[in-house]
C-alpha cells in the first residue's frame, strides 16, 4: 500500500503530498516532513537551493529525485509531474516556506491532480498567515487571506475598494521595500484609526510584531528601515451606526415608487439599515 513517506509501486497510482516547511525556525520541521524528504520518490521544490539548505540544516539527505517547480515553469512542468504520479510515484511538494499552494506554487498541481482523479494529501505545519493572525491581537474568529496587493497603484486602489466593507480580519503579505507604500494605501482607504499589525520575521531570531492604528504603523515604516518577511494584519470594517429612522424615509419612498407595498418596503429598508420597523413606518407616515 502506498502512503505518504512510502515510495509508490509501479503500475499503481501514486500520490502528491503538500508538505509545509518552516517559515523561519528550522526546529519547526515536523517528523513527517523529515520522513517524506528522505523517502519520497520525487521532491518538487519551489527553490532547489533553499531545499538543499533546509535538508542540510536538518541533517538529512533527500532520497528521491529533486525537480524544480515554481511559478515560471508550472505551465510546462505540471503535466510531467502528474505523469510521474500516475506511474506510481510518491511526490512531496515543498515551497520556500509554509504550505504550498497558499500564495506559493502548488495550486496548478493540485488542480490537475483533482481533475485526473489522483490522490492529494498534506502534511500540515508552519503557516505565516495563521501565525501573524494569532499574534496580531485582532479578532481571529473570522478572517480572510488577501495575499499580496497589486503593485500598480490603480489596481491596488481597486482591490482595497472591494475590501472597504470587509468585516473580517484581513491578512496580507508584502515585501519590505514596498511596506511603506502599502501601509499608506491602507491608511488612505480604511482610515488612520483602523487597528492593524505588522508582523516581521516570524519565528526567527529578530521576530517583531508592531501593533497599533494604521496611522502609527505608517509613521513607523516611514522612519525605520524594514527588512525580512512581512505579514500585515488589518482589522475588519467597523459595523456602521444604524442612524435615525427618518434618515431612511427616502429609501422607503423609492421602493414604493417602484411598486412595492409600503409595508414590504419598510420591512426591507429596516432590516438593511438595522432600525426599528415600527419607528421607520411612523417616520414615513409623518413625512407625508
Q: Give the tens place of pLDDT for each residue, 59-99.
A: 999 999 999 999 899 889 999 999 999 999 999 999 999 99
- Whether the CB-CB separation of 186 and 160 falls below 8 Å is answered with yes
- Domain 15-125 has what CATH class? alpha beta
CA atoms within 13 A on the CB side of 240: 10
Which is more confident, 3 or 243?
243
Instruction: Provide the 3-class DSSP secondary structure of residue 33.
Output: helix
Of the candidate CATH numbers 3.30.420.10, 3.30.950.10, 3.40.50.880, 3.40.47.10, the domain formed by 129-234 belongs to 3.30.950.10
Predicted local confidence at residue 257, as pLDDT = 92
Task: Specify whether the CB–CB gap between 46 and 94 falls below 8 A.
Answer: yes
And the C-alpha cell for 14?
501514486
Q: Tens digit of pLDDT for each residue in 184-241?
A: 999 999 999 999 999 999 999 999 999 999 999 999 999 999 999 999 999 999 877 6
Is there a contact between 145 and 171 (Cβ–Cβ < 8 Å)? Answer: yes
Distance between CA 122 and CA 283 in Å, rounded? 58
Name the DSSP class of 177: G
Q: Is the pLDDT of residue 287 over 90?
A: no
Say what the pLDDT of residue 242 is: 65
The whole-model pTM stands at 0.79
User: Mean pLDDT, to the nearest integer, of 247-274?
Assistant: 90
The band of 42, judged by pLDDT with boundaries at 50, 70 and 90, is: very high
Q: Percent of the chain, pLDDT > 70?
A: 95
Q: How far apart are CA 150 and CA 147, in angstroms?
A: 10
Average pLDDT over residues 133-160: 96
pLDDT bin (cut points 50, 70, 90) of residue 4 is very low
Q: What does the block give as the cell for 38?
A: 528522505
- Residue 81: the pLDDT is 96
Which triple of cell numbers denotes residue 155? 489596481
pLDDT at 12 over 70: no
Residue-level pLDDT at 2: 40
pLDDT, the chain, mean: 92
pLDDT at residue 274, as a whole number? 82
Amino acid at each position: 500500500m502506498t502512503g505518504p513517506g512510502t515510495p509508490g509501486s509501479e503500475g499503481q497510482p501514486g500520490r502528491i503530498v503538500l508538505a509545509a516547511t518552516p517559515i523561519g525556525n528550522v526546529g519547526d520541521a515536523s517528523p513527517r516532513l523529515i520522513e517524506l524528504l528522505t523517502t519520497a520518490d520525487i521532491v518538487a521544490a519551489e527553490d532547489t537551493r533553499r531545499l538543499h539548505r533546509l535538508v542540510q540544516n536538518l541533517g538529512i539527505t533527500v532520497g528521491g529525485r529533486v525537480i524544480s517547480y515554481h511559478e515560471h515553469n508550472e505551465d510546462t512542468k505540471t503535466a510531467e509531474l502528474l505523469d510521474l504520479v500516475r506511474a506510481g510515484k510518491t511526490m512531496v511538494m515543498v515551497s520556500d516556506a509554509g504550505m504550498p499552494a497558499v500564495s506559493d506554487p502548488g495550486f496548478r498541481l493540485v488542480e490537475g491532480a483533482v481533475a485526473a482523479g489522483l490522490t492529494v494529501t498534506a502534511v500540515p505545519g508552519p503557516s505565516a498567515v495563521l501565525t501573524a493572525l494569532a499574534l496580531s491581537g485582532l479578532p481571529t474568529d473570522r478572517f480572510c487571506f488577501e495575499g499580496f496587493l497589486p503593485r500598480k497603484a490603480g489596481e491596488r486602489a481597486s482591490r482595497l475598494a472591494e475590501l472597504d466593507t470587509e468585516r473580517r480580519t484581513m491578512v496580507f503579505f508584502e515585501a519590505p521595500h514596498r511596506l511603506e507604500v502599502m501601509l499608506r494605501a491602507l491608511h488612505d482607504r480604511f482610515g488612520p484609526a483602523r487597528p492593524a499589525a505588522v508582523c516581521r520575521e516570524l519565528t526567527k531570531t529578530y521576530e517583531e510584531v508592531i501593533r497599533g492604528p494604521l496611522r502609527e504603523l505608517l509613521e513607523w515604516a516611514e522612519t525605520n528601515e524594514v527588512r525580512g518577511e512581512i505579514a500585515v494584519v488589518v482589522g475588519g470594517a467597523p459595523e456602521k451606526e444604524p442612524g435615525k429612522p427618518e434618515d431612511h424615509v427616502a429609501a422607503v419612498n423609492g421602493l414604493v415608487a417602484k411598486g412595492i407595498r409600503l409595508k414590504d418596503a419598510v420591512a426591507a429598508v429596516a432590516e438593511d439599515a438595522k432600525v426599528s420597523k415600527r419607528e421607520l413606518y411612523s417616520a414615513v407616515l409623518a413625512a407625508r
